[in-house]
C-alpha cells in the first residue's frame, strides 16, 4: 500500500486530497494545526490514517512529524498548507506579514522535508508536490500577466521563495521527483476573483495524475495535466 503525507488537511484543497486518498485506501499521514478538528478526526480515525497535530511555521513540527512517521517509507508528499496575505502595495505591505508567509510557504516546506527526507525513496519513486501558484512565477509577475488581480506582496514573495527552495531540493536530491504545482483557480478561502474550479475537482485531477505515474521533475510551475509556466 502506498503511503502519503499531506499538510494542511483542515480545509480547502488539503481536506479534499486527504479525504479522497483515505477513501481510496492509501495509508495517509495528515498534518493539521487545528486542535478541535484533530480531536474530532481522532474519534473515527480509519486504520489507514495517522494524524499529526503540528504547525509548520514552527521548528517543533520537525519533532512532531518524526514522532508519528518514524521510519515509514513515503511514496508521496504533498506540501499543501498555506495562508494568504493582505498588503497589496508598498504602503500596506509589512514586514511581519511577509515574514509570516515566507515562514509557512517556504520554511514550512523546508521543515517538513528536514523531518522526512530519510523516508523518501530514490530512483524517482517518491514524488514531492509543493503547492505553488501562477502568482509565484517571477517571469509572469515581471511582465504583468496578473496585474489585474489583487495579490499581496507577501503571497507573491513567499511563493517565489518556495520555488527557489524546490530548486535547491531538486539539485540536492536527484533521485526524488520534485514538482511545483499550481492547482488551478480554486474556490477556497484563498480564492481570487477569477476562481473557477472546486477543490474537489482539483484534488481529483492531482490524484489521477499521480496514480498514472505522470509526475516527474518539472522545470517550472506545473498545472496538470501538462501546462508548465516559467518560474
Nearest to 89 by CA among 152, 160, 144: 152
Residues 112-131 that bind ligand NAP (CB under 6 A): 131
Measured at the CA of 57, the angle between CA 210 and CA 25, to 5 degrees, comes to 30
CA 111 to chain centre: 13
For residues 186 and 82, what is the distance between their CA atoms, to the nearest angstrom? 13
Which window, 9-17, 87-95, 137-145, 216-224, contacts ligand NAP (CB under 6 A)? 9-17
As given in the structure block, the three cell numbers for residue 76 are 508521496
Which window, 11-19, 65-73, 120-128, 138-146, contacts ligand NAP (CB under 6 A)? 11-19
Residues 181-220 that bind ligand NAP (CB under 6 A): 182-183, 185-186, 188-192, 195, 199
Task: Outline where DSSP puts E strands in 76-191.
Answer: 76-79, 127-131, 177-181
Nearest to 180 by CA among 85, 86, 103, 80: 80
Residue among 60 and 219 whose Cβ is closer to ligand NAP: 60
Residues 34-93 that bind ligand NAP (CB under 6 A): 34, 55-57, 80-83
Where does this chain bind ligand NAP (CB under 6 A)? 7-8, 10-14, 33-34, 55-57, 80-83, 104, 108, 131, 133, 182-183, 185-186, 188-192, 195, 199
Amino acid at each position: 500500500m502506498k503511503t502519503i503525507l499531506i499538510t494542511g488537511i483542515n480545509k480547502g484543497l488539503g481536506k479534499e486530497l486527504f479525504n479522497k486518498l483515505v477513501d481510496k485506501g492509501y495509508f495517509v499521514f495528515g498534518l493539521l494545526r487545528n486542535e478541535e478538528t484533530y480531536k474530532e478526526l481522532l474519534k473515527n480515525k480509519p486504520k489507514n490514517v495517522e494524524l499529526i497535530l503540528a504547525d509548520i511555521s514552527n521548528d517543533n513540527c520537525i519533532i512532531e512529524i518524526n514522532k508519528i512517521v518514524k521510519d515509514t517509507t513515503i511514496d508521496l508528499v504533498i506540501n499543501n498548507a498555506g495562508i494568504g496575505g493582505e498588503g497589496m502595495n508598498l504602503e500596506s505591505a509589512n514586514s511581519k506579514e511577509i515574514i509570516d508567509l515566507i515562514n509557512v510557504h517556504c520554511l514550512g516546506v523546508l521543515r517538513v522535508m528536514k523531518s522526512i527526507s530519510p523516508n523518501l525513496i530514490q530512483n524517482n519513486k517518491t514524488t514531492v508536490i509543493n503547492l505553488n501558484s501562477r502568482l509565484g512565477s517571477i517571469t509572469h509577475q515581471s511582465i504583468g500577466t496578473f496585474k489585474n488581480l489583487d495579490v499581496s506582496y507577501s503571497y507573491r514573495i513567499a511563493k517565489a521563495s518556495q520555488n527557489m527552495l524546490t530548486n535547491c531540493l531538486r539539485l540536492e536530491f536527484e533521485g526524488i521527483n520534485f514538482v511545483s504545482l499550481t492547482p488551478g483557480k480554486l474556490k477556497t478561502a484563498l480564492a481570487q476573483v477569477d476562481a473557477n474550479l472546486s477543490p474537489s475537482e482539483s484534488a481529483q485531477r492531482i490524484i489521477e495524475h499521480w496514480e498514472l505515474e505522470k509526475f516527474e521533475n518539472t522545470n517550472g510551475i506545473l498545472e496538470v495535466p501538462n501546462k508548465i509556466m516559467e518560474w
